[in-house]
Amino acid sequence: MFKNVIVKTPGKSYVNGLTTSDLGTPDYGKLLEQHEAYVEALKQCGVEVTHLPASEEFPDSTFVEDTAVLTPEFAVITNPGADSRNGEIKEMESVLKNFYEKFHYITAPGTLDGGDILQIEDHFYIGISERTNTEGARQLKEIFESEGYKATIIQLKEFFHLKTGIAYLGDNVIVVAGEFIDHPDFAQYKQIKVTVEETYCANCIAVNDYVIIPKGYEDTKRQINEAGHKTIELDMSEVRKQDGGLSCLSLRF
């Protein structure tokens, strides 16, 4: 069960943030509405929300997931791979001091974004991506193993972050898209396979009794419902324009 989440209001500078998409400039007003709906959905899942104010100096800082990796016992402060985002970890570390006593750190030359980390029970999967390098992944694997967790490093081929294409719903069930479908490292789990057209829906989040999914992906929604999960659907259009998804907008612990 998750008890807490941390979210951060997007600033007006969000529209100037990093993106590889060609979906156009985000509408800031609409984005704020979508972010509020996201926070309301999390509250519906029964978690306590720590809501941080916007930071105009960091356009991508609403994507808090990239700044830390959290377990029940300790927090890992990452070393985000994009220069413009690296300073975001300062605020997050001080906020996490309200919740954690034990900290680990990813340090240069290692880089790592939280979006590249997926926890499945006591096993962490660490993606090597454009943002997480081999050294960052190695450092995190060593941290997890020293703390008694299992860790596997996965080299990404196409996805932006590991969790762009995979989510864990509990009870051994994963949602997978693209390069993770039938991937040997995930063969031990039951798979909900996302069609090419619905790839964006692979970035969904299981929060206590609900799975929060992006709106408009009927086939994946049906499969998740048939697997016995209640869903909450959210319009993510303005988040997607900056390469973001549901997992990126919160730290859940």
Best CA proximity match to 154, nearest among 171, 174, 207:
174
Continuous H helices in the chain: 28-44, 88-96, 134-146, 218-226, 237-240
CA atoms within 13 A on the CB side of 117: 33
Q: Indicate if 161 belongs to the active site.
A: yes
Residue closer to ligand CIR (CB basis): 65 or 198: 65
- Report if residue 58 touches ligand CIR, rule: CB under 6 A: no
DSSP letter at 79? B
Nearest to 245 by CA among 190, 187, 204: 204
CB of 174 to ligand CIR, least distance (A): 17
Q: Which is nearer to ligand CIR, 81 or 110 (CB)?
A: 81
Are the C-beta atoms of residues 69 and 6 closer than 8 Å to each other? no
> Does 66 help bind ligand CIR (rule: CB under 6 A)?
yes
Candidate residues 35, 104, 161, 241; the one interacting with ligand CIR per rule CB under 6 A: 161
In the complex with ligand CIR, the residue whose CB is nearer, 50 or 86, is 86
CB of 13 to ligand CIR, least distance (A): 12
Q: Least CB distance from residue 69 to ligand CIR, whole Å?
A: 11
Q: In whole angstroms, what is the distance from residue 160 CA to residue 20 CA?
A: 9
Binding of ligand CIR at residue 238 (CB under 6 A)? no
Is there binding between residue 233 and ligand CIR (CB under 6 A)? no
In the list 8, 35, 85, 104, the residue contacting ligand CIR (rule: CB under 6 A) is: 85
159 touching ligand CIR, by CB under 6 A: no
Residues 6+ apart with CB under 8 A from 89: 67, 68, 77, 78, 79, 80
Least distance to ligand CIR from the beta carbon of 247, Å?
Answer: 6
Active site residue 248: yes
